[in-house]
Amino acid sequence: MTDTIERATEDAVAEVRVRDLTVLYRTAQGERPAVSNASIDLRRGQITGLVGESGSGKSTLALSLMNAIPEPGRISAGSVRVEGVGDVTALRGEHLRKVRGAALGYVFQASQNSLNPLKAIGRQLLDLGRSHKVQDPRTLVAKARELADRMGLDGQRVLDSYQHELSGGMRQRIGIVFALVLNAKVLILDEPTTALDMISQAAVLDIVRQVHEENDLATLIVTHDMGVVSEVADRLAVMYGGRIVEDGPVLDLLRRPAHPYTRALIRATARITGDTAEAKALPGRPPDLTTVPTTGCVFRERCALAMDICAETEPRLTAWAEDRRRACHAEPAAVTGESS
């Protein structure tokens, strides 16, 4: 599996290389994997979308890139190698704190929860600078103001405001400012459009693409919304039950999904054009930590193509087409509907 992904990135620069990552959480049944043997690259100049239903492990994988798994979880195996930094999972204390923000920028799902309601945005920016021992706070403030202005905000007014004085879309943009103001080259956005109206969603996505291109970032967007990734992503990775079950170039993957779960997600997407009767809800419920199968394919109980082998052997994530990987025992043609 590792050899496959290495070959796929020979012609692209991987800013982050995740290899065989496993994250365990303590439960009443013992430690169970929230992420299992995940391998993925975040390539410089590309936006990668990470999709799946709630509980699929998306946010856990994203937090692992920062080595920020909260108790009672822990990274039990694998590595997260960041260009110029090394394996983030091996970092601790001051060294790890410097990497967060300076190399890796994270925008949390509930943007208002990452802001202090008792301090103006500008004061929080200065706190960020002090925690990273920034020598010239004036330059830091000027850069933040410029970033905010480029995102369609009144930079000075926003820095003088408290979080409750800003809309959800404005707070989301401020989160992006905080993530990039220390020159991070990796941007991680966890559900960046959740709870935003359609106009604000479109504005935030436009800004993400613009900032990504201007700064030549490696960007990861965690979302449950196929519409979001189809708008901005270059690549798409699909997670289910803590496993990456498929990945590849976004347009090719959306047109020719080669895993039954990806195909089901696409069919379940709401639509306002074409034959709306084609939209079908995915039957059943996704597993949680205590119900995810410990053997075989994690999707088999909801899969129309399940076979005997699916209950016995977990499929490996392997290449099946150019720059495409899937983890499924069924033949690709059985999923895509193409002739063999």
Between helix 168-180 and helix 121-131 the angle, nearest 10°, is: 20
Give exposure, 203-221, as e/b (b: 16+ Cβ within 10 Å): bbbebbeebbeebebbbbb
Structure confidence at residue 4 as a pLDDT band (50, 70, 90): very low
- Does residue 273 carry a pLDDT above 60? no
- Does residue 16 carry a pLDDT above 90? yes
The structural domains of the chain, with segments of one domain joined by +, span 2-89+218-336
At residue 223, φ and ψ (nearest 5 deg) are -160, 160
For 251-272, what is each residue's pLDDT tens digit? 999 999 999 999 999 988 755 5
Of residues 2 and 205, the one with the higher pLDDT is: 205
Pick from 35, 88, 44, 45: nearest CA to 66? 88
Write down the pLDDT at residue 114: 77
Structure confidence at residue 1 as a pLDDT band (50, 70, 90): very low
Of residues 312 and 152, the one with the higher pLDDT is: 312
Average pLDDT, the chain: 89
Q: Which of 4-8, 49-53, 194-198 has the highest mean pLDDT?
A: 49-53
For 60-105, what is each residue's pLDDT tens digit? 999 999 999 999 999 999 999 999 999 999 999 989 988 998 899 9
Structure confidence at residue 207 as a pLDDT band (50, 70, 90): confident
Superfamily of domain 2-89+218-336: P-loop containing nucleotide triphosphate hydrolases (3.40.50.300)
Of residues 325 and 283, the one with the higher pLDDT is: 325
Q: Which residue has the tokens 């499929």?
A: 315
